[in-house]
Chains A and B, each alone.
Chain A
């Protein structure tokens, strides 16, 4: 098991190097940071000094190696726009994005999974049909539109929930801030979380439904019926567990998507997270922030993939055997 985790982590290194390369390449090819930082009036001496300070006069691969080396240490340079260290900016924004993503994920799983099972098991009921229609809407509405509609309905129309921001936050430790502990924080979280989670929720529901229907047709379910096992055990034990195997992969990847693409939701709700930071940085070609964001998202995906693999390991005994026999050097 530790060997398995280690091999997975080693596999992640080339991935991160490549993503780092792309992130770094942006420095060379997107905009001219020197121009941006100097503004309108500058002398040639100032320009040369800044190029030297930023290390832009060195060969490309040296710059790349330095960039990666600093990145490993959590150093991503200084934001062109805000003239502050990128690592600090990210650390400030990270809790907001993570809280939003986790809430959206929990919401999409907690609602999507039971709905998927229900629509598969009671395929012909009216409620199941209603869920299917609803899921069609959820899967086809673009995120920004859902967000705007929710704002229109619950903020503008009913005035129940705030339309932007994170509400009051409480500081925990040196750099974590949470909105979970205040009423305004929780209220502010509801609409963005629904907006961000809706697509995933309907996707999970449809996926679970399709997989479950597939599993319910298999021979081992028929054989379980022929042995007289209870309906409950067949559907929620035998069938559901087999349904989870493919669902875990998709859900895992989707979680990465939630973190990576929270930027649309964050823009709509002016949520002070990394996505909003990224969008604002794109506008002024703030490359250090953009490249740090890119790398961070790559790390998120690597971690999620590792977790997915570990979950597989827990759910599917067939994988355990292949691995241990492979290790035995058969």
Chain B
């Protein structure tokens, strides 16, 4: 049984001009101890997927369909107070900007202790010991002294370490890291990713790593889900996705990563832009930009189909009716 199983998740935003479907039939699972990378452009629905899982969709956004199972039991239909007990305790979250995710008026110790004591029956003193241990574990030097310091007394990288400690201090089985390195210095990014990797391994924590940085994914994730316009375009083991992408969108994404080995004059780019939620085309959402588009893509929407080692939502991989390659070669 997978730790987290997301089935056909649909998230909608009712607006004055009608209902916007921001996530449309997203399915994936995360095994215990696994790191799943989620990549895609801004607005593809990566963060929204994370927010939906922990029940923190911004109103008026709501889960309109599908199921979310944590260790086999549904969590998408729980009340807010039941969800609260899951957040932090069973599913942790790490946000993008460490400069704004810590409460500036409380010392980091107070924030850690409060989080620990919310979820675990510990005395103030024991919670404090645990907080110091976590600060040491995330690499804050002189943790016992610095525990009473305030967020502004830490650098950006250290603050993200504190955020990680806060997310993990109640030992959740899964942590959703939403762009944990985007706001950081390039030199710090690698450290934070290495830390996250090490902690996940040491504590057996599964990670859902949301980012648009393929480099981070390639280095960290076991499997990757590529999202496009609120759907999963391709999902599979990281090596296969990087080496032999099956979906034309993934292929385009890989082509746009600069390589040290091969000098190129110009980076490849995918023409056009991701459609807005109000104007998602019929059929495959990627069809207006796809170099290998054919008639069926404009009419019928592809589900995830087996494509070698990965699964891709692309009619090119329809085993029953193979399209004639010659027709659009």
A residues with a Cβ closer than 8 A to B are: 218-220, 222-231, 233, 238, 241-242, 245, 315-318, 321
Contacts and interface: CB of A to CB of B under 8 A. Distances in A.
A238 B167 CA distance: 17
A44 B115 CA distance: 85
A230 B84 contact: yes
Contacts of B166: 223, 227
Contacts of B86: 228
B223 interface: no
Given A227-B92, A242-B104, 6 more contacts: A220-B100, A222-B56, A227-B166, A316-B104, A317-B150, A318-B150
Interface in B53-74: 54, 56
Interface string B138-161: 000000000000101100000000
Nearest to B169: A227
A218 B100 contact: yes
B107 interface: yes
Contacts of A225: 56, 84, 87
Given A219-B100, A220-B101, A227 B115 contact: yes
A312 B84 CA distance: 32
A321 B54 contact: no
Nearest to B88: A228
Contacts of B56: 222, 225-226
Contacts, number: 84
A278 to B, nearest CB: 41
Contacts of B150: 317-318, 321
B104 A318 contact: yes
Say whether chain A's binding surface is mostly helix, strand, loop, or mixed: helix
B136 interface: no
Interface residues of B, number: 33
B87 A228 contact: yes
Given A318-B150, A321-B150, A321-B152, A226 B87 contact: yes
B315 interface: no
B89 A228 contact: yes
B95 A228 contact: no
B95 A219 contact: yes
B95 A226 contact: yes
B93 interface: yes
Nearest to B93: A226
Contacts of A238: 103, 106
Nearest to B54: A226
A82 to B, nearest CB: 51
10 contacts: A220-B101, A223-B95, A223-B163, A226-B88, A229-B114, A230-B84, A231-B84, A241-B105, A242-B103, A317-B152
Nearest to A316: B105
B102 interface: yes
B198 interface: no
A224 B86 CA distance: 13
B119 interface: yes
A227 B164 CA distance: 11
Contact of A227 (B81, B100, B106, B118): B118
A239 to B, nearest CB: 9
B95 A227 contact: no
A208 to B, nearest CB: 16
Nearest to B118: A229
Max chain A CB contacts within 10 Å: which of B54, B85, B102, B105?
A: B105
A316 B105 CA distance: 6
A245 B105 CA distance: 10
Contacts of B97: 219
B84 A220 contact: no
B107 A223 contact: no
Contacts of A241: 105-106
Nearest to B89: A228
B118 A228 contact: yes
Contacts of B153: 321
A72 B142 CA distance: 53
A220 B114 contact: no
Contacts of B88: 226-229
B87 A220 contact: no
Contacts of A233: 114, 118
Nearest to A217: B58
Nearest to B86: A228
B84 A228 contact: yes
Interface string B116-150: 00110000000000000000000000000000001
Contacts of A222: 56, 95, 101
Interface in B193-215: none
Contacts of A219: 95, 97, 100-101
Contact of B93 (A220, A223, A229): A223
Contacts of A245: 105
Contacts of A315: 105
B247 to A, nearest CB: 31
Interface string B303-315: 0000000000000
Nearest to A224: B103
A224 B89 CA distance: 13
B95 to A, nearest CB: 6
A318 B152 contact: yes
The 7 A-B pairs at the shortest CB distance, nearest first, are namely A228-B88, A228-B87, A226-B93, A219-B100, A227-B88, A223-B101, A317-B150
Nearest to A229: B118
Contacts of B81: 231
Contacts of B115: 227-229
A117 to B, nearest CB: 17
Contacts of A227: 87-88, 92-93, 115, 118, 166-167, 170
A318 B99 CA distance: 13
A85 to B, nearest CB: 49
Contacts of A242: 103-105
Contacts of A228: 84-89, 115, 118-119, 170
